Amino acid sequence: MPAPQQRRIIFRHIDEPGYTNDLACYVKHGGYEMLKKALAMQPAAIIDEVKKSGLRGRGGAGFPCGVKWGLVDRKSGKPIYLVVNADESEPGTFKDRYIMHQDPHQLIEGIMISAWANNVKQAYIYIRGEMPHGARILEKAIAEARAANFVGPNILGSAYGCEIYVHRGAGAYICGEETGLIESLEGKRPYPRIKPPYFPAVLGLYQCPTIVNNVETLCHVKHIVEMGGDAYTKIGTPNNTGTRILCVSGHVKNPGYFEYEVGKITMGELLNEVCGGPLPGRKFKAVIPGGSSAKILKFGETFTLKNKDGSTRTLTVEDIPMDFDTLAACGTMGGSGGVIVMDDSVNMVEALANINAFYAHESCGQCTPCREGSLWMKKITTRMVHEKARSEDGALLKSVADQIAGRTICAFGEACSWPTQSFVAKFGDEFKAYPETKNAPKPAGALDLV
């Protein structure tokens, strides 16, 4: 059975020959019509459509966007801010970057519609520090949109106005955590805030109610206004509506980004048919389905899941549909859509050493378990790879990770411990045998250690 066709909604014009990121091109392709349509609607009606659509956040947690908007404190009398999380930092994820580079006006239109729906007068795009080019493109696009009266005061002759500011990060993964991002936006160290009491919907930016949405999520809002919430739910699968962009990297023939209806493509179809399967002479060994913090899946393992009617079904990794709920039921997550593939040339201890080095470097250092635990795990895996490995290190790694997850201020605790927990759980033998196997000849084509 051939793999399903991509359904490009967000990425409709990405890589389209002749499509440029300027306003004229966007307007020629029907741009900002949905902003006009939205301004003619009641804000509450737009929120209703978003709620009806079942749109789930594309940043990583998959939290329903309409519910998030519903939590905003609208009675405080304080301004409501919209913050666009463009700090796309999760290793393996490269979708928002393409939206901002090639179709920035789609994002701006999504922002303006969402701002109107939520009575937002100021929106901020917090863009990752390592994306200076994207920031310049956004600045230019916002200037164009402002000149055309799509952004700024009295939009399209209405009484409504909203300004968008681009804020560049300084290069920290933690700025993708929404409260860390807010602190950074306020000019402070991006220490994530404790919740309670600092829920952004109530006490966000400058202690005002704040909505923090991912770039892709806001782009979806534009299309929900276009087709209506009910029609949007027909895309994808129940509770996993719409399309999402999957970024495949690693050991496949044709890596890249692909937009599919959520849950309408399986891992096997994605990797074998869409991405052309493993490299010549190799076999898939493992895959991380949602950015490097998601728990790894091992090819060959099976998952027995409950159906709604009480019966069970058994899935292999290849059978897993790429949606939020099934991946969660399999013990991992859809996350940010970054699919990282590893074949049999990869030593899992060495792969984990790479991931641990990243998280140890990115831990903000605010709370104890993550600060000390992430570096400890890095030191262990680095030692295993470059110095003396011990057969008991796997168990120690797991124990350290267990002491982090669930006990930290923000989700970074999980992000840094889930890789270790899952690598050790699923490839424990490899960790145990590593003292003997580490000096054995590497398979042909295996990457050198960094």
Exposure on the CB side of residue 323, measured as CA atoms within 13 A: 19
Picking from 66, 34, 67, the residue whose alpha carbon sits closest to that of residue 50 is: 66
Give the chain's end-to-end CA distance (angstroms, integer). Answer: 40
| Tokens standing for residue 80 | 């409501």
CB of 353 to another protein, least distance (A): 13
Report the C-alpha gap between 61 and 84 in whole angstroms: 15
Overall residue count recorded for the chain in this entry: 450
Site for another protein contains 406 (CB under 8 A): yes
Given 187, 196, 280, 310, the residue binding another protein (CB under 8 A): 196
Select the span of 85-93, 126-134, 239-247, 399-407 touching another protein (CB under 8 A): 399-407
* Coil, strand or helix at 182: helix
Site for another protein contains 386 (CB under 8 A): no
Torsion angles phi and psi, residue 24, rounded to 5: -60, -45
Select the span of 19-27, 95-103, 397-405, 439-447 touching another protein (CB under 8 A): 397-405
Which CB sits closer to another protein, 319 or 402? 402
Site for another protein contains 407 (CB under 8 A): yes
* Coil, strand or helix at 390: coil
If one counts every other C-beta atom within 10 angstroms of the C-beta of residue 100, the result is 28
Report the C-alpha gap between 429 and 20 in whole angstroms: 51
CB of 295 to another protein, least distance (A): 18
The pattern of x and - marking residues 249 through 268 that bind another protein according to CB under 8 A reads --------------------
CB of 397 to another protein, least distance (A): 11
Picking from 237, 294, 291, the residue whose alpha carbon sits closest to that of residue 263 is: 237
CB of 424 to another protein, least distance (A): 15
User: Strand order of the sheet with strand 243-250?
Assistant: 256-261, 243-250, 338-343, 284-288, 297-298
If one counts every other C-beta atom within 10 angstroms of the C-beta of residue 177, the result is 28
- Of 171-190, binders to another protein (CB under 8 A) are 172, 189
Which CB sits closer to another protein, 110 or 419? 419
The pattern of x and - marking residues 346 through 385 that bind another protein according to CB under 8 A reads --------------xxxxxxxxxx-xxxxxx--xx--x--
CB of 63 to another protein, least distance (A): 16
Count the residues of the shown chain that bind another protein, applying the rule CB under 8 A: 34
Site for another protein contains 409 (CB under 8 A): yes
Q: Which residues bind another protein (CB under 8 A)?
A: 172, 189, 191, 194, 196-197, 360-369, 371-376, 379-380, 383, 396, 399, 402-404, 406-409
